[in-house]
Amino acid sequence: MADFQLTTPVALLIFNRPDTTARVFEAIRQAKPPQLLVVADGPRPDRPDDIEKCKAARAIIEGVDWDCEVLTNYSDVNLGCKNRVSSGLDWVFSLVEEVIILEDDCLPHPSFFRFCQDLLDYYRDDKRIMAISGDNFQLGRNRTEYSYYFSRYNHIWGWASWRRAWQYYDVKMKLWQEIHDGNWLEYILGEGQSVKYWTKIFQSAYDGKIDTWDYPWTFACWIQNGLTILPNANLVSNIGFGEDATHTIGSKSRVANLPVKEMNFPLKHPLFLLRHVEADDFIQRNDYNLSLFTRLNNRLKRIITKAE
């Protein structure tokens, strides 16, 4: 890693968490990207304490002390998770062709940056790949002899992508009704319980009942028959759910505060491009095949915690 130089832009999404923002910023500072694009939401009108917290989070960005072009997209008003992140990433991809993306509570291992950069280059023109993630939620299960595998699940706690992929993103999910009416999820997912679960999730997102940007991104990837690269060891830890957070599942979440491991280089690339069905089944069974009420309740708790 000593001779590695990061040449890929990094996007950082922040809000009102100066504590976690400072830790993630320090990881970025150590990586020294040549370009840093910062997206920030504005304070909520019913939370006066947001004003100072948002100001403190933004002040951290002023700590850039390496040769770096800093671009900011700060909202004066609160747009919410869905509209702030989606509009922010639209802005990011209007400026750069490819980028590494971190949220203010996603703390990466130093090798995460090289992992993303190497694979952004390796799969730049392969339209089968929509994203590269630093997340591995297999809880120690070694799924492959290679450095990474392919999944239909586009985990977004530290990831990277290209403008060529993001162009398919539609926060309004205008194609959902056609996909639903044509039973296309059965073709994509196969297994009945998964189809039932994701139909409810996508319908709720389409109806505006879930204030989040990532389900439309999953939808965009799936209807393009796209895959996401996942590392064979976890490279990013979500530090946003500490035990002192009272409105969250916190340490009870199996994917909160996961330990990270170093990725070895050079990467060992798979010799075939096929989805890892066993790994995906594990994720679907343990993360998604819950009742819709449980999933939405857990997501609401996480959103509340991020806003504390």
Q: Cα(304)–Cα(298) distance, rounded to whole angstroms?
A: 10
Q: How far is CA 263 from CA 29, 125, 140, 147, 278, in A?
A: 19, 24, 14, 8, 22
Say what the pLDDT of residue 237 is.
Answer: 98
> Could you report the per-residue pLDDT of 88-146, keeping only the tens digit for each?
999 999 999 999 999 999 999 999 999 999 999 999 999 999 999 999 999 888 999 99
What CATH number does the domain containing 175 carry? 3.90.550.10
pLDDT at 255 over 70: yes
Structural domain includes residue 156 = yes
Residue 5 falls within a domain, yes or no? Answer: no
Identity of the residue numbered 227: L
Nearest to 102 by CA among 173, 215, 26: 26
Contact 99, 93 (CB under 8 A): yes
Average pLDDT over residues 262-289: 95
Which tokens sit at 107?
Answer: 């703390």
Q: Is residue 225 assigned to a domain?
A: yes
Helical H runs in 150-291?
163-166, 176-181, 184-189, 192-206, 214-223, 277-283
Q: Which of 229, 252, 1, 279 is nearest to 121 (CA)?
A: 229
Number of domains the chain contains: 1
SS3 sequence of 119-138: HHHHCCCCCCEEEEECCCCC
On the CB side of 269, CA atoms within 13 Å amount to 8
Could you report the per-residue pLDDT of 276-292, keeping only the tens digit for each? 999 999 999 998 876 55
Give, rounded to a whole angstrom, the gap between the first and last alpha carbons of the chain. 36
Residues of the domain holding 123: 10-307
Q: Strand 236-238 vs strand 106-108: parallel, antiparallel, or unpaired?
A: antiparallel
Cα–Cα distance for residue pair 294/277, rounded to 1 Å: 25
Give the percent of the chain with pLDDT over 90. Answer: 84
Stretch 41-63: mean pLDDT: 98
pLDDT of residue 252: 66
Q: Would 2 be classed as within a structural domain?
A: no
Residue of 23, 61, 11 whose CA lies nearest to 239: 23
Report the distance separating Cα 238 and Cα 32, nearest Å. Answer: 21
What pLDDT, on the 0 to 100 scale, is given for residue 287? 86
Q: Is the pLDDT of residue 192 over 90?
A: no
Residue 3 within any structural domain of the chain: no
Residues 6+ apart with CB under 8 A from 201: 210, 215, 292, 295
How many degrees, rounded to 5, is the angle at CA 54 between CA 48 and CA 57?
150
- Supply the pLDDT for residue 3: 87
pLDDT, mean of residues 79-87: 98
Quick: pLDDT tens for 150-163: 999 999 999 999 99
4 domain residue, yes or no: no
**160 CB contacts (<8 Å, ≥6 apart)?**
8, 98, 99, 100, 101, 116, 117, 119, 120, 131, 132, 133
Domain membership flag for residue 154: yes
Task: Using DSSP bridges, classify how beta strands 159-162 and 129-133 pair: parallel, antiparallel or unpaired.
Answer: antiparallel
- For residue 304, pLDDT over 80 is answered with no
pLDDT in tens, 200-226: 999 999 999 999 999 999 999 999 999
Residue 74 falls in which region: left (phi positive, over 0), alpha (psi -120 to 50) or beta: beta
Residue 240 contacts residue 305 (beta carbons within 8 Å): yes
1 belongs to a structural domain: no
Strands 227-231 and 148-151: antiparallel
